[in-house]
Chains A and B, each alone.
Chain A
Amino acid sequence: MLKLLKEVLKVGEATLPYPFAPMEMMPGFRGKPVHDPELCIACAACAIACPPNALSMVTDLDQGYQSWHLFVGRCIYCARCEEVCPTGAITLSPNFELAVMNKDDLREQADYQLAACRECGVFFAPVKEIERMLALLQQSGVSAENVATARALFEVCPECKRKNDIPKLASLYQEAV
């Protein structure tokens, strides 16, 4: 009996003190995805990668906005979103205390403006995405005036770009013939 008690005292308490003390998570533990709405460019890479569709995008071409939705209740914490995010806007935090009484508290939303095409006025891409592309061009050493030229190209929707290209292609073709 005494021997057993000795053993028990030697081993000590195995039970973790949680919830009376915070639980220490292992490094690399994947908990709730944290979204930094400032960094996000609404490119929808995460929504395409998300296996259970916990992340989704809704595009409203009439109002000109694109909204990013996260429903934590469906998330499987696979970190695919973190993997594909080009700006590092999504990271998986060690937060595991996600229980809720009301299901809607599991939802997150962020609305982003869409840019209207310079020529036809149709909304086609998030403003922040275009701005980031231009910032990247600038960082890679493109001069300010070339960035301005690129801006004029970037702010045109694919449909109008195609239309603008047709006369050029036609003249190229005629030259070739």
Chain B
Amino acid sequence: MVGKNGNRPGVDGSRYAIHPDPLAGQLKGALLKDIARSVYVYRVDCGGCNGCEIEIFASITPLFDVERFGIKVVSSPRHADVLVYTGAMTRSMRIPALRAYHAAPEPKICVAYGACGSSGGIFHDLYCVWGGADKVVPVDVYIPGCPPTPGATIYGFAMALGLLGQKMKAVHHVQEDDERSQLRYPELPSRLMVEIERESRRMAGYLHGKKIAHSFLDILVAHQTDGPGKIDQEIQTYLSQQDDPRLTEIFNRLQQIYQAERK
């Protein structure tokens, strides 16, 4: 029998050893009520890089303190209400993952944690990787992130416990016939734009160079009609707000290019 997802293995796919009991599903609501302020979490590392573990431990530190919601990390799946699967689910960890699942008492909540736990992450196409906790156990909540920040961890747990709602939803955009990609600075000469972007990228690297060039050009465009004095003044205000000598250095160079181009 093939699951309703076709060949894609999923929770309902009977290619895997777990057949979730429909009764246990109904009990999950009761479980959430019973464990409202006392949630025992067991962490199963299925071949991760330990980044996720570090963030889980960061979220039980006093700064983020998930223990104020009664969330406690326990050392045996037999005590657990929630199982957290981290890691890309390697071939050799699939059996221990199943054993942890079967050891935890019903009803239980499974959380796929991190990009690897949700889908295999950057390791998704490795030969020894099953690609996500949901290939082996039925997952209730996915917490993506590489690794998820403690904030994302708290949010994910609050969602698993039914305290907060989901914010993400699937998006599907279809191009309109007259849809066009607008240029960012149609009023600027392209030579100036290219030279500024090139110099900025040379000095600050590709990504940050682009960002710095854009913040420079934004000021130029916003005050183009106000004259060169006003532009210099605006740039000085921006630089004093940012208070970064590296940025000042780059902006000075960009200003030189702009002035040479203006002549």
Contact = CB atoms under 8 A, between A and B. Distances in A.
B257 interface: no
A108 B170 CA distance: 6
Interface string B175-219: 101011111101001110000000000000011001000100000
Interface residues of B, number: 60
B166 A101 contact: yes
B57 interface: no
A83 B207 contact: yes
A66 B168 CA distance: 24
Contacts, number: 172
A104 interface: yes
A152 B62 CA distance: 65
B190 A139 contact: yes
Contact of A75 (B139, B146, B181): B146
B141 A52 contact: no
B173 A76 contact: no
Interface string A70-101: 01111111010011000111000000111111
Contacts of B169: 105
A73 B118 contact: yes
Given A18-B154, A99-B166, A76 B171 contact: no
B173 A39 contact: no
Contacts of A101: 140-142, 159, 166
A132 interface: yes
A113 B141 CA distance: 35
Contacts of A72: 144, 168
Contact of B166 (A105, A108, A140): A105
B145 interface: yes
A111 B201 CA distance: 31
Interface of A: 14-16, 18-19, 23, 25, 37-41, 51-53, 65, 71-77, 79, 82-83, 87-89, 96-101, 103-113, 127-128, 131-132, 135-136, 139-141
